[in-house]
Amino acid sequence: MEPTAIVSKVRISKLKAEQFLHDNKVQFTQEIVKIMKGEYEPGTVLVLQYEEETESMIFVYWLELRNPESMMQMPGFEAFKQIATYKDIEASDLIVFSSSAPNFLTDPIWKAFQISVNEVTPVIPNNLSRKLISELDDILAKYIFETAKEKNDSIDSSGNPYCIFFNNKCVHSILVDEYNRSRG
């Protein structure tokens, strides 16, 4: 079976993104600990990345879950939805649940939500534009496939029960500090 994915790009200022990460560090740290302890399937990937050039927070979950209801109950997704309360750039963004991460452009989108300032609302996946889906597919390519290739790492054969990529200093420092504290 192919892995599934939750993918989002939310436009938000750097200050608000840092506040969001700081305020939700416990939830994200708990999720990191679960991934690192192997409580999820091997190959589970969590990406949290702030892109200064686009003023966007990137969120990707690469999962082995086979239904959107299970995906929606992932603690990292629950924490990420809180970004709407921090969002300070007036733009509608998406979070999408794909039935196939490797075939994101061609396989069905299970669920989608629009993220606006202070609001997360469901949208009908069939009504999403191909352009938006293509932009989210580019995120998967950049943060999963290209990052894995750059690190000479493979999602499927890394030898580790988990893979997590944090390329942003803010994200990395907040979450790693909390992870280290949680280990005692």
Threshold 0.75, pTM exceeds: yes
- Closest among 110, 113, 127 to 69, alpha carbons compared: 110
**Domain spans of the chain, in order of start:** 4-179
pLDDT, tens digit, 9 for 90 and up, residues 11-63: 999 999 989 988 888 888 788 778 877 888 877 888 888 899 999 999 998 88
Question: Is 121 a residue whose pLDDT tops 80?
Answer: yes
